[in-house]
Amino acid sequence: MTPSLAPRPRRSFIFTPGLRPEMFPKALASGADIVCVELEDGIAPKDKTEARKRALALFEQPPADDGVERILRINSLRERFGIEDVHAVLTTHTPPPALMMPKVRTPDEVVMLDQLLTEAGHATRLHVIVETNAGLEAAHDLAHCSNRIDALFFGGVDMAAELRCRNAWEPLLYARSRVVHAAAAAGIDAIDVPYLDLNDPDGMRVAAEQARDLGFAGKGSIHPKQIAALNEVFTPSAGQIARARRIIAEFEAADTGLVVIDGKLIEKPVLREMHRIVAVADRMGM
């Protein structure tokens, strides 16, 4: 399996429809850390084939060195459209850098796709959406089943429907926590669901702060005007950045599994989060 990559900023993401490739450059320029080309929910069944063709064409040229992570969201592997998406990815010589897998229920789905990508010689990464009750139950195993996985995404809308609860913070707190814990145990990122009310920027900021404090590395957006606030919420403070750089330097100098900084014992598992903070800082030029 492909080894895990170094942490990178994932404070915000935005979808852009595969059917409309002319919107891709605008999404890349929106300030989002992740741009995801959409083949799933945002594409009508009658347009799936054309969207797939147009979307894959976007990845034929090497991406610009702009710091934006590019992802293609395929359809569920339990559906015909998902199988067709995977076949198209496997047979292209210019696969997307990463695939987002929706409605995942069991690790078998991820393992199968990992093996197919390996057979095809593709280095494509994976992002897994936990938005089904079965997926939530298997969250820990999902996070650990493939070294291609870079992040778990929490899908609140579908999850609320499956759990028969309101799509609100309190009813979904347990589900969100399960996703964060699974991602943390595997050393990967957890990304929260977009806030759906464009007319409530204050509510979105509160939701983003709650997600950040729970352990999410970022949150989705449904419109470019949400991205600046999301990036602000998930960007560490100058003090946090300075501390992260110091901890990394201390570990490198000590070459041990733990160091003592300001009288506090700090063990090696915290290093990944320190590297993620520094990655965000580097993207911001801080």
The DSSP bridge partners found for residue 154 are 130
> Quick one: pLDDT band at residue 264, thresholds 50, 70, 90?
confident
Q: How far apart are CA 244 and CA 233, in angstroms?
A: 18
Provide the mean pLDDT of the chain. 93
Name every residue whose Cβ is closer than 8 Å to that of residue 267 and which is 6 or more positions away in sequence.
Answer: 257, 258
User: pLDDT confidence of 120, banded at 50, 70, 90?
Assistant: very high
What pLDDT does residue 254 have? 83
| Collapsed DSSP state (helix, strand, coil) of residue 151 | strand
The pLDDT, as a whole number, for residue 3 is 43
Residue 120 CB: number of other CB atoms within 10 A?
15
Residue 255 has pLDDT above 80, yes or no: no
The one-letter code for the residue type at 202 is D
CA atoms within 13 Å, Cβ hemisphere of 164: 0
Question: Does the structure show a pLDDT above 80 at 157?
Answer: yes
Q: Which helix (H) or strand (E) holds 125?
A: strand 125-130
In this prediction the pTM is 0.90
∠ CA(285), CA(154), CA(3), 5° rounding?
65
Categorize the per-residue pLDDT at 282 as very low, low, confident or very high, splitting at 50, 70 and 90: confident
User: Region 197-215: what's the mean pLDDT?
Assistant: 96
Q: Is the pLDDT of residue 128 over 80?
A: yes
pLDDT at 200 (0 to 100): 96
More confident residue, 36 or 266: 36
Is the pLDDT score of 178 beyond 90?
A: yes
> Hey, what are 85's tokens?
């998406």
> Whose structure tokens read 């464009």?
198
Q: What is the pLDDT of residue 135?
A: 97
128 phi, psi to nearest 5 deg: -110, 130
Phi, psi dihedral angles at 172 (to 5 degrees): -105, 10
The predicted-structure confidence for 43-88, as pLDDT tens digits, reads as follows: 999 999 999 999 999 999 998 889 999 999 999 999 999 999 999 9
Per-residue pLDDT band for 2 (boundaries 50, 70, 90) equals very low
277: left (phi over 0), alpha (psi -120 to 50) or beta: alpha
5: confidence class by pLDDT, cuts 50, 70, 90: low
Strand partners, 100: 73, 127
The Cβ of residue 175 has, within 10 Å, a number of other Cβ atoms equal to 23
